[in-house]
Amino acid sequence: MNRRTSWALLLLAGASGAVDALAFTALGSVFAGVMTGNLVLLGISAGRGDGSEVTGPLVALGGYVVGAACTAAACRGARRRAAGPLWPPAVVAALAAQCALLTAVAVAAAVLGGRPGEAGRIALLVAAAVAMGGQSAAMVAAGGAPTTYFTGTLTTLVTGAVDGTARGTSDLWTAARLSAVVGGAACAVAVHAAAPSWGFVPPALLTACAVACQKPAQRLRRAITRPAGN
C-alpha cells in the first residue's frame, strides 16, 4: 500500500469516528456506521419489551444499507481494477459523493443550530448512515476492508504482535488508523461542544482531504466521461 492510500485511509478512519461520535451524542444515542452497535441496541429494546427505542437503530440500519447498496452498484467491477497504487475512478467518485452528502449534513446541522429537534435528528441520521454505508462499500470496491468498524483490525493487530506475524510499517499504519478513529471522534465532539453549529464540519473536511489524497480531478473526469464515451 502506498503512502497516499495510507493517508487516505487514515483520514477516512477519522471521519468515521467523527460521524459515529456525533450520531451517538447529538442524534439520539445510535451509530451511523457501526451497525453491530445498532443491532445490539435493537436486541436491548426487544429484551426490555420497549418499542420506543427502535426508531433510531432501524433508521440508521436502513440508511446504511441504502448507501452501501447504491455505492456497490456504482462501483460494480471496480475491485478488478483496484490493484494499482490509486483507487479506481468509480471509488473516488463514490467517496466524493459521500463528501458532498456529509457537507450537506454539516450545512443542515448549522442551520438547525447544531442541536436539531426530533425530525431533524432523524433526517441527519439517515444522511449520515447513507454516507457511512457508501464509504464502507467504496472501500470494499477498492479491494480493502470497510473503514467504519475496527474490531477485526484491532484483533489482527494484537494477534500479529503476539504470534510474531506483525508486518512492521504496515502495522504501524493500522495502529494509526485505530488512533484516528479516537482522534476523529474526540475532535468532532469537542467542536460540537464548543460551537454546536460547526460540530458536523470535521467529518466532511476529513473526507474531502481523503479524496484529495487520491488526486481526484483527473480520475473523477475519467469516471464521468468513460460511461459517456461508451
Each residue of 175-185: pLDDT tens digit?
Answer: 888 899 999 99
Residue with cell 471509488: 91
Q: How crowded is residue 228: how many other Cβ atoms within 10 Å of its Cβ?
A: 6
Instruction: Report the C-alpha gap between 129 and 213 in whole angstroms.
Output: 23
Q: What is the pLDDT of residue 84?
A: 57
Low-confidence ranges of the chain (pLDDT < 70): 1, 79-85, 164-170, 216-230
Burial class (CB in 10 A: 0-12, 13-18, 19+), 212: middle
Task: Find out whether 125 and 63 touch, Cβ atoms under 8 Å.
Answer: yes
Q: What is the pLDDT of residue 88?
A: 86
Three-state SS annotation for 34-64: CHHHHHHHHHHHHHHCCHHHCHHHHHHHHHH
Nearest alpha-carbon partner for 198 in 100, 101, 111, 95? 111
Between helices 89-111 and 201-213, what is the axis angle to 10°?
160
Q: What is the pLDDT of residue 168?
A: 58
Q: What is the pLDDT of residue 230?
A: 47
59-69 tens-digit pLDDT:
999 999 999 99
CA 48, 18, 181, 5 dihedral sign is positive
pTM of the model: 0.85
CA 80, 129, 223, 226 dihedral sign is positive
